[in-house]
C-alpha cells in the first residue's frame, strides 16, 4: 500500500455559504478549492498549510450518499486559546478534558456535524 495521508473528509451541509463562513471565519481555515462541478459547487477548506481538507457538500445536490453526519478531529497546539476564541465568536464548545492522548473538547458546525479538537500529549504515535 502507498496510502500516506487523508486527502479530504466530506461533510454534508445544508447551506454551503454558511458552512464556508463557519469553517473559514470561525475555525480559521483557508479556502482551498471553490469550483463548479458536475454536482454543483465543489468547496474545500482546511487549516493553513495542511495536507487534508474538508469538502462541504450541499445535501440538496450531493445525493443520498451525502445525507449523513460526520465526526472528525482537528489538532491544535493551544486548546485553551482556541476554546476561548471560539466562545468569543459565539460557538458552543465543551470544556477541555484530560485524556491519556491529550486534552480534548468537542463542538458542532451549523449543520450539527460533530468535531473534536485535540491538543496531543505525545501518547502513542499521534502527530503533533
C-alpha cell of 67?
445525507
What local confidence, expressed as pLDDT, does residue 128 receive? 47
Express each pLDDT in 70-104 by its tens digit.
768 888 889 999 999 999 999 999 999 998 788 99
In terms of residue numbers, what domain contains 95? 8-59+68-120
Predicted confidence at residue 103, as pLDDT, reads: 92
Indicate whether 128 belongs to any domain.
no
Residue 126 in domain = no
CB atoms within 10 A of CB 116: 14
In a domain, 125, yes or no: no
27 CB burial (10 A radius; 0-12, 13-18, 19+): buried
Instruction: Give me the number of domains the chain comprises.
Output: 1
Mean pLDDT, rounded, for 25-51: 87
Look up the pTM and report it.
0.73
Determine, yes or no, domain membership for 2: no
Q: Is residue 45 part of a domain?
A: yes
- 102, part of any domain: yes
For the domain that residue 14 is a member of, what is the CATH number? 3.10.180.10
Amino acid at each position: 500500500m502507498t496510502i500516506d495521508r487523508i486527502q479530504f473528509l466530506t461533510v454534508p451541509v445544508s447551506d454551503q455559504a454558511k458552512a464556508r463562513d463557519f469553517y473559514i471565519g470561525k475555525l480559521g481555515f483557508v479556502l482551498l478549492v471553490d469550483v463548479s462541478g458536475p454536482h454543483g459547487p465543489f468547496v474545500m477548506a482546511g487549516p493553513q498549510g495542511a495536507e487534508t481538507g474538508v469538502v462541504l457538500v450541499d445535501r440538496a445536490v450531493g445525493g443520498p450518499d451525502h445525507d449523513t453526519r460526520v465526526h472528525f478531529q482537528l489538532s491544535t497546539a493551544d486548546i485553551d486559546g482556541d476554546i476561548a476564541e471560539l466562545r468569543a465568536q459565539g460557538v458552543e464548545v465543551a470544556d477541555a478534558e484530560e485524556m491519556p492522548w491529550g486534552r480534548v473538547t468537542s463542538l458542532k458546525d451549523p449543520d450539527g456535524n460533530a468535531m473534536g479538537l485535540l491538543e496531543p500529549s505525545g501518547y502513542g504515535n499521534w502527530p503533533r
